[in-house]
Structure 1
Amino acid sequence: MATRSLTGADRDGTDEETDAERASRWSRRFVLAGAAFLVCWQAAAVAGAGRRAGVSLGVLGFVFHTIFGKAYSLLPTYFDRTLATTRTMPLQFALTVPGAALLAVGAAASVPLAGTAGAALWVAGVAVFLGTLLWTVRGNLSGRETGTGEAKAHLRPTDRLANAAVPVALAYLALGSYGVLAGRGPVPPLLDGYLPRVTHLLAAGGAALVLFAVGFRLLPRFLAVAPSRRLAVTVLPAGAVGPALLAAGLPAGTLFRLGAAVEAVAVVGFAAGYAALFARSDNDRVGFYGVLAGAGAGVLAALLGISFAVAGMDPALAAAHYRLNVLGLLGLSIVGVSYQFYPPAVGRFRGAGDRTALAAIGLVAAGLLVEIAGLAVGVGPAAVTGRVLALAGAAVHLYLLAGLFRQRYG
């Protein structure tokens, strides 16, 4: 029987494309979409778009689309399973990408219809994502089966702890996504409809907990250093409980103070654990510096959160807290880990390489610090300058990923 070459049309879905190839291709598309959302988010920040638009672009667009892409490829393996189907990946992509974009347009341009449509698309796409992953890991929801080989048997207890946190993070994603839709139509609001509750459910509960869980499994293997099991026992439960306490307790009160303290334990513990791995590792990769910078930003954000719990909210510092968490802890960590999966040094196009990747990390980190300093002292031009620097770093990151994907996969 004659064989055919794998043409572009074949790669887009004929029987010649395997499930693994299709999953890899759509995973890259989610990651690239996330990088594009990062650029749009920073551009919107420079233009002065409000925080609601920023959450749609930054949390839903950038952070979660990157998580979606890597979750499809990593989580089944971590639960010793094979992804149940790859056919739902393009469906989810067609729902959540325009959903996040329409939510941002609706918030920035005050177009309620766009926001409602975006929320409906987002929730439908998240339902597809959750349904696919939960069906994949059915029978192992606790994550006791880890797929950890005998050579890494000493890591199994930590791997099981990390796995157990994943369903909790997925529950936060589901609840937060409901909150995105709630109040926009016939769906009743979540609690009192206070939007920061929804943001904390998604960013702290859905995204940060995924970072902690995957971090205790993935980062030690990248760095070739065993993680602290004691820290995992502390960080993961705190990261699972803290967002719920914060969301329920906002904007003040005993529950909020307790939530801020518990979440600070999770963030600072994760940062300390990663810093110890970084210091002990003999491996030196450019992406490790992104995660280190993200961990540092997370500590600053946690300290601000404690100050809010003790002394009350300050609007300027609340904006700094949001940027430190989403662009810092989550954003810089995502950029850093991306360079582990897609090494810039293998690029053969103009500007490709570790120096460019380090420039992307440095621009985002420096821009964030300049912006936070400007917000803290009330110097508007400094804050705008910081956002411009972060925009430049985001653009470099998108350029690198797009170039690497085009070079390797066409």
Structure 2
Amino acid sequence: MRYLASRLAIVSSLLFLILWILSSLMGTYALAIGDYGLAAFLARPAWSTDLPLLGFLGLMIFGIAEHFVPLFAGRELERPSLATVQVMVAIVSVGIALGLPRLLIVGRLLWFGAAALFAGLLFETLRSGRIVPRPGVHREGLLVIDRRAASMTAAGTAYLLVASSGFVLAAPGGRPLTPALAPYGASFLHLYTLGFVALSLFGVLFHLLPRFLEVVPPARWVTVLAALAISAPAGVALTIPYASTDHPLRFLLVGFAAIEGMVAVLFALLLFGLWRKSARRRPASLFFVLGGMWLVVGAGLGLYMGSSTGATLRGTTTQSWLTVLGFAGFEIFGITHEILLPYVGQGLRAWQVAARAHEGLATGGLLAVVTSSTLALAGFPRTSAVFAFVGFGLLLWMALSYTAGTFQTLAAISPPGGIARSGR
């Protein structure tokens, strides 16, 4: 990690991941013993929305993007010191939302400021010219893939700005500053997850995986993926208010959701193709394939929720776990396992065992949590609670081990020092 901002963002993101899983476990325990006050507190928007989406995913993407976007663009990050300030503002914004519920809007205003700084830093870094081949990279077709990845990263950053402004004005889960935007609270959440998060991860993955796995995906299909993935989130967001109603324009929501389903399937197939053809498959690369699979399942559930009257609210929790942890979380776990190599200081064997263990714990934990959500909807609260305890326990185990290994690796890397301050 060349920049202090990237390290700070990744460390904070992992701590927020642990806090998110631990709070989910505590919420399950509170419901089981009848402590509805604690359960209600942990169900507030700051804990159920800001913590996973902004604290875990947002900060992690900030850290990854501020390291890799300049790298694959062939230039340095402009103003590394400002990037550090931007990450610190983002951390404070999530902390305020969690610790001071009455100041939730202040936290989200600060987040919007951090998002604007992030966008400014990336666009300033990229504006100096077209992406050029990096030294030593001569694989045919790779430059086209890099340019498509850059377009998805830029679109994702634009979605971040729109969604972050919506978090302030529409205040999903809270009291909106602009009542006219209240029906679009879920729309801004969608723009954040399937717009900013998904497109940012697509951009990073299609830059890194051809180099990790030494296989170049078909450029025409990556171009199709980029075109659909950039446009579909806006269509779904605009038509989400038609869900669970008999509005005559509801078919538009179903149509855009179907396009997002196509994006998920195409993305999963491209990743699986890279993984299958590669002669350099490492244990952590399975995270990428699993993440694509969870995205397909989540998109399928979203399409069902959009086309079935009354199903939207019932499936929201399950789809959230599939998208936030199953897709985004698994792709992030894969990226960080590849670039930071947790436990590699103890030898290659220790790293391989850790990667396999983390994949097993994360998969088992997510399956148990999704099963718990399904059983709760079916009217089996006790069995649902058992599965929730098992799932969150496995996920917490994985998160603690993964964080410990990543911290160990970061501590072993030379401090950024002058590199972080000068950006060179």
What is the TM-score of this pair, normalised by structure 2?
Answer: 0.84
Task: Give the aligned residue type for 2:196.
Answer: G
Is the counterpart of residue 288 in structure 1 residue 285 in structure 2? Answer: yes
Q: Which residue of 1 is the match for residue 161 of structure 2?
A: 174
Is the counterpart of residue 47 in structure 1 residue 34 in structure 2? Answer: no
Q: Which residue of 2 is the match for residue 229 of structure 1?
A: 219
Q: Which residue of 1 is the match for residue 384 of structure 2?
A: 380
Q: Is the 8 A contact 1:352 1:400 kept in 2?
A: no
Q: Is the 8 A contact 1:304 1:317 kept in 2?
A: yes
Alignment equivalent of 1:246, drawn from 209, 220, 236: 236
Deviations 1:305-336 (A, max 9, x none): 11112213243422110100000100011011
Is the counterpart of residue 121 in structure 1 residue 105 in structure 2? Answer: no
Looking at structure 2, the residues matched to 214 and 353 of structure 1 have their Cα atoms a distance apart, in angstroms, of 23
Instruction: Decide whether aligned partners of structure 1 residues 32 and 361 sit closer, same or farther in structure 2, where only a CA change above 3 A counts.
Output: farther
Is the counterpart of residue 274 in structure 1 residue 253 in structure 2? Answer: no
Q: Is the 8 A contact 2:170 2:181 kept in 1?
A: no
Gaps of 5+ in 1: 1-20
Task: Give the aligned residue type for 2:240.
Answer: L
Looking at structure 1, the residues matched to 111 and 330 of structure 2 have their Cα atoms a distance apart, in angstroms, of 24
Alignment equivalent of 1:135, drawn from 99, 124, 129: 124
Q: Is the 8 A contact 2:341 2:406 kept in 1?
A: no
Deviation at 1:99, TM superposition (A): 0.7
Task: Give the aligned residue type for 1:27.
Answer: S
Q: Is the 8 A contact 2:156 2:200 kept in 1?
A: yes
**Partner SS state of residue 80, structure 1:** coil
Task: Give the aligned residue type for 1:172.
Answer: Y
Q: Is the 8 A contact 1:290 1:361 kept in 2?
A: yes
Deviation at 1:189, TM superposition (A): 5.9
Larger RCO: Structure 1 or Structure 2 (Cα < 8 Å, ≥ 6 residues apart)? 2
Looking at structure 1, the residues matched to 62 and 330 of structure 2 have their Cα atoms a distance apart, in angstroms, of 17
Count of matched residue pairs:
380
Deviation at 1:280, TM superposition (A): 0.8
Is the counterpart of residue 161 in structure 1 residue 161 in structure 2? Answer: no
Is the counterpart of residue 398 in structure 1 residue 403 in structure 2? Answer: yes
Q: Which residue of 1 is the match for residue 56 of structure 2?
A: 62
Looking at structure 2, the residues matched to 82 and 408 of structure 1 have their Cα atoms a distance apart, in angstroms, of 20
Gaps of 5+ in 2: 28-41, 244-249, 377-382, 416-424
Looking at structure 2, the residues matched to 285 and 187 of structure 1 have their Cα atoms a distance apart, in angstroms, of 49
Task: Give the aligned residue type for 2:83.
Answer: M
Q: Which residue of 2 is the match for residue 258 of structure 1?
A: 255
Q: Which residue of 1 is the match for residue 178 of structure 2?
A: 188
Deviation at 1:160, TM superposition (A): 1.6
Looking at structure 1, the residues matched to 396 and 252 of structure 2 have their Cα atoms a distance apart, in angstroms, of 36
Q: Which residue of 2 is the match for residue 97 of structure 1?
A: 91
Looking at structure 1, the residues matched to 350 and 109 of structure 2 have their Cα atoms a distance apart, in angstroms, of 39
Q: Which residue of 1 is the match for residue 336 of structure 2?
A: 338
Task: Give the aligned residue type for 1:346.
Answer: V
**Partner SS state of residue 370, structure 1:** helix
Looking at structure 2, the residues matched to 158 and 408 of structure 1 have their Cα atoms a distance apart, in angstroms, of 30
Looking at structure 2, the residues matched to 321 and 60 of structure 1 have their Cα atoms a distance apart, in angstroms, of 18
Q: Is the 8 A contact 2:10 2:63 kept in 1?
A: yes
CA RMSD after TM alignment: 2.3
Q: Which residue of 2 is the match for residue 12 of structure 1?
A: none
Alignment equivalent of 1:145, drawn from 131, 134, 151: 131
What is the TM-score of this pair, normalised by structure 1?
Answer: 0.86
Task: Give the aligned residue type for 1:375.
Answer: S
Deviation at 1:73, TM superposition (A): 1.6
Deviation at 1:263, TM superposition (A): 1.1
Q: Is the 8 A contact 1:291 1:332 kept in 2?
A: yes
Task: Give the aligned residue type for 2:259.
Answer: V
Q: Which residue of 2 is the match for residue 309 of structure 1?
A: 306
Deviation at 1:293, TM superposition (A): 1.5
Instruction: Decide whether aligned partners of structure 1 residues 368 and 153 sit closer, same or farther in structure 2, where only a CA change above 3 A counts.
Output: same
Task: Give the aligned residue type for 1:129.
Answer: F
Task: Give the aligned residue type for 1:117.
Answer: V
Looking at structure 2, the residues matched to 67 and 200 of structure 1 have their Cα atoms a distance apart, in angstroms, of 17
Q: Percent identity?
A: 27
Looking at structure 2, the residues matched to 396 and 316 of structure 1 have their Cα atoms a distance apart, in angstroms, of 33
**Partner SS state of residue 43, structure 1:** helix
Deviations 1:16-58 (A, max 9, x none): xxxxx8x433312211111111111111211223273232111
